[in-house]
Structure 1
Amino acid sequence: MGYDLNRFQGDVDEELVCAICNGVLEDPLQAPNCEHAFCKNCIQEWISRQPTCPVDRQHITSGQLRPVPRILRNLLSRLSINCDNAQHGCTSMLKLDTLARHLEECEFNPKRPLPCESGCGLIVPKDELKDHNCIKDLRGLVLQQQQKLMEFQQDLTEQRINTNELKKELQLLKDFMRAMKISNPTMRAIADAMERDEVVRWSNTLTRARVTRWGGMISTPDERLQRMIKRVLSEIGCPSHIIDDLMENCHERRWPPGLCALETRQNNRRQYENYVCKRVPGKQAVLVLACDNAHMSEDMMVEPGLVMIFAHGIE
């Protein structure tokens, strides 16, 4: 619906009047060919009943409607209109394009939000302040929040159930692929490719890390430290088919020839800077995955990669 003509100061050009509601155009749209303009709500409701222009009956659809030209919008914005709250005492005359901003701040707006001055701190519409009861409304607010919390917890439970079901289905699929991989050479190649792709996708989700003190490397981590790192890898989605291998490779007994002894590690220290390392969140440890380090020589890399744990020096 358009703006009531009686609210405007002076005469309003008929080109600015909606032919459907006979009010001044509000959020106007125009027909594509005849260019007749109407209020957005008016013309959309009209077209929902009969897809024709209300003035000349040319066929139009809702998707064909387009914004009116800027010159028409400028003419509308310059019209002077009284405030929506004139009946409540506001005497302001405003340019149409400033009306919305004025209504947000108009002191005569009965729905203007005001803080309760009795101490509860709630924001209440102006016309409801006289009937506002702090205790009653606070209790109602608490009940609303409790209801929202219950709904959130229910949604969270449902999501966890769905996630667990998806994990079970994924595990079944992986088990099936492994079985096929053993019995069928073609399926073996497909399964291997899928597993490689899964590792690459996971690696792309990890944050790059920089080692500043390679001398802080722990080459023989104890079981407690290994369990801690393994738990973190599981939490960040490490593919199940490589997690055990990665953890085995955190000890120097499984490291490649270029790292397997203190002397060789010292001789190859310059090559460390070429490693692409990914951070193990919250720990002084990095992942050096084979998929990220194809540029490294065979004596510096093993499949599916290394877990390097440090006493310090990870950024």
Structure 2
Amino acid sequence: MGYDVTRFQGEVDEDLLCPICSGVLEEPVQAPHCEHAFCNACITQWFSQQQICPVDRTVVTLAHLRPVPRIMRNMLSKLQITCENSVFGCKAVLRLDQLQSHLKDCEHNPKRPVLCEEGCGLEMPKDELLNHNCIKHLRTMVQQQSTKIGELERTAAEHKHQLAEQKRDIQLLKAYMRAIRSANPNLQNLEETIEYNEILEWVNSLQPARVTRWGGMISTPDAVLQAVIKRSLIDSGCPMSIVNDLIENAHERNWPHGLATLETRQMNRRYYENYVAKRIPGKQAVVVMACENQHMGEDMILEPGLVQKESSTRCSKRLRERLEEEEETGSDPSRLRERLEEEEETGSDPSVHLKPWFMQNLIAQNEASIAFICGTHVPCTSES
């Protein structure tokens, strides 16, 4: 629909008026042959009823319409028009081609977006601000968010169910492949390649870790701790084909030769910091893969890897026992007392800060124990 003629300053040329609405042309277009000009909205509505020119009744379709000449557009743009918000108090008179930009910023525009200053910060049209209720809006927003969270939770549950089904399918496929391999040994390399890729992907997904507290590791984990470690391994994406092997090798009875006895651990204690380790998410535990620790020597690594779980509580208890022994023998326990107080104040494990002389005493008294779980050999590299 065109602009109301009464809004313009001075007389408006008849050629700039729409024959359908009798208003000043808005978004004008013209017929190709007769060159009659119309508002785009007016002629579109006209053609929905009949495909002829409203002036001379010649056949015209919507596809035949084209923009009006530039001279007509220039004449329209120079017309002086009042703001459509004049009824709300706006006194502006401006060129027609500046009207749209003015309306966006007109302070009298009842539809101009404004922000609620009462606390909720909602953006709304100015004329809706008087009836706005922040509490009602926030309640609606909370309900919408709760609905969205519920939908996301349902989607996550569906994805989790689908993932579990896919894992079961993979296990069935592996069992099927093993059955085929038993009949055809040539397929053995295919299964090994698949398992290798799974293990490689898992190892590369773990974050690097630098362990400096090898003296506080658990050497004989009980069933509860083994279950915790097993769950952590599964949650981290460890392939199920090696999880049971890892847990079986958590006990010191399965450690490598260089760590099998107290004497060998005491001899090799200076090499512990040279291990390249990866952190198991969510637990104070690391995995040490043989492929990343070839520099340690065959007697210090276990094919294909190790997992170590620290116990700062045990270290704290033994610090107290050592402190009591020092006091009974009349030795100066001040250094031990400082470390113990530091642990109690900060909750940190003082074994990080122990001097070499005290670490040697801990190892000599079977205080430094390292828990290892067998991993899987993956030829990869990692940053220590």
Alignment TM class, shorter chain as reference: 0.5 to 0.7
Contact 2:212 2:273 in 1 (8 A): no
Q: How does 1:78-227 map to 2 (within 5 A)?
A: 87-88=84-85, 89=90, 107-108=107-108, 110-115=111-116, 117=118, 122-133=122-133, 137-138=137-138, 140-227=140-227
Contact 2:106 2:112 in 1 (8 A): no
Shift of 1:164: 1.9
Q: Secondary structure of the equivalent of 1:225?
A: helix
Task: State the AA in 2 paired with 1:248.
Answer: E
Contact 1:180 1:188 in 2 (8 A): no
Q: Secondary structure of the equivalent of 1:127?
A: helix
Assess, with a 3 A threshold, how the Cα gap between structure 1 residues 285 and 139 changes in structure 2: closer, same or farther.
Answer: closer
Shift of 1:174: 2.5
Contact 2:116 2:123 in 1 (8 A): yes
Question: Which blocks of at least 5 consecutive residues in structure 1 are unaligned?
Answer: 1-20, 24-48, 56-84
Shift of 1:297: 2.4
Q: Secondary structure of the equivalent of 2:149?
A: helix
Shift of 1:295: 3.8
Assess, with a 3 A threshold, how the Cα gap between structure 1 residues 151 and 282 changes in structure 2: closer, same or farther.
Answer: closer
Q: Secondary structure of the equivalent of 2:257?
A: coil
Assess, with a 3 A threshold, how the Cα gap between structure 1 residues 143 and 274 changes in structure 2: closer, same or farther.
Answer: closer
Percent identity reads: 49
Task: State the AA in 1 paired with 2:190.
Answer: I
Take 1:90 and 1:293, find their aligned partners in 2: how far apart are those partners? Answer: 82
Match of residue 239 from structure 1? 239
Contact 1:181 1:187 in 2 (8 A): yes
Shift of 1:291: 3.3
Question: Which blocks of at least 5 consecutive residues in structure 2 are unaligned?
Answer: 1-26, 30-61, 68-81, 313-350, 353-383
Match of residue 27 from structure 1? none
Shift of 1:204: 0.6
Contact 2:113 2:123 in 1 (8 A): no
Match of residue 61 from structure 1? none
Q: Under a length normalisation based on structure 1, what TM-score does the superposition of the two structures give?
A: 0.61
Match of residue 284 from structure 2? 284
Match of residue 263 from structure 2? 263
Shift of 1:264: 0.9
Assess, with a 3 A threshold, how the Cα gap between structure 1 residues 279 and 135 changes in structure 2: closer, same or farther.
Answer: closer
Take 1:140 and 1:262, find their aligned partners in 2: how far apart are those partners? Answer: 66
Shift of 1:197: 2.1
Q: Secondary structure of the equivalent of 1:273?
A: helix
Shift of 1:207: 0.9
RMSD: 3.7
Shift of 1:195: 1.2
Task: State the AA in 2 paired with 1:252.
Answer: E
Match of residue 304 from structure 2? 304
Match of residue 273 from structure 1? 273
Higher relative contact order (CA 8 A, sep 6+): 2
Assess, with a 3 A threshold, how the Cα gap between structure 1 residues 142 and 269 changes in structure 2: closer, same or farther.
Answer: closer
Contact 1:113 1:124 in 2 (8 A): yes
Q: Secondary structure of the equivalent of 1:158?
A: helix
Take 2:108 and 2:215, find their aligned partners in 1: how far apart are those partners? Answer: 73
Contact 1:90 1:108 in 2 (8 A): no
Q: Under a length normalisation based on structure 2, what TM-score does the superposition of the two structures give?
A: 0.51
Q: Secondary structure of the equivalent of 2:173?
A: helix
Task: State the AA in 2 paired with 1:111.
Answer: R
Q: How does 1:38-49 map to 2 (within 5 A)?
A: none
Shift of 1:242: 0.9
